[in-house]
């Protein structure tokens, strides 16, 4: 099942094997791990890189970012819930 929020954030792997919608390609799993670790080190920069149109005044407020994505990308509350359910706990 496709989840637009998940696909926007992590890339739609169905577009081209090994490449997501942002042109990020991983030669091996270690590259992907390094990419994820870098994103975790500076999440605000990662989000700004993935969603460059997010206004600077809300870039450190996850709730406002989600609201912005809902308004500008047609993301539903169900899409957000589905993305949250895909995160292992």
The pLDDT value recorded for residue 8 is: 60
Q: Is 1 a domain residue?
A: yes
pTM exceeding the 0.85 threshold for the entire prediction: no
Structure tokens at 69: 């994505």
Q: Is 72 a domain residue?
A: yes
Q: Is 21 a domain residue?
A: no
* pLDDT of the chain, 89 residues: tens digit per residue: 455 555 665 554 444 444 454 456 677 788 888 888 888 888 888 888 888 999 989 988 889 988 998 999 888 889 888 888 887 77
Q: Is 2 a domain residue?
A: yes
The pLDDT value recorded for residue 6 is: 56
Shortest CA distance to 11 belongs to which of 46, 40, 50, 48?
A: 50
Q: What CA–CA distance (Å, rounded) separates 14 from 22? A: 13
Domain count within the chain: 1
The pLDDT value recorded for residue 72 is: 92
Q: What is the CA radius of gyration of the chain?
A: 13
Q: What is the DSSP string of 8-44?
A: HHH--TTSBTTB-TT--B-SSHHHHHHHHHHHHHSHH
Range of the domain at 63: 1-6+47-89
């Amino acid at each position: 099942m496709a989840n637009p929020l998940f696909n926007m954030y992590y890339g739609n792997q169905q577009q081209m094997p090994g490449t997501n919608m942002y042109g990020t390609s991983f030669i091996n799993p270690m590259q992907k791990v390094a990419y994820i670790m870098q994103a975790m080190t500076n999440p605000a920069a990662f989000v700004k890189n993935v969603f460059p149109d997010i206004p600077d005044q809300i870039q450190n407020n996850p709730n406002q970012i989600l609201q912005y994505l809902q308004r500008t990308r047609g993301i539903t509350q169900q899409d957000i819930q589905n993305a949250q359910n895909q995160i292992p706990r």
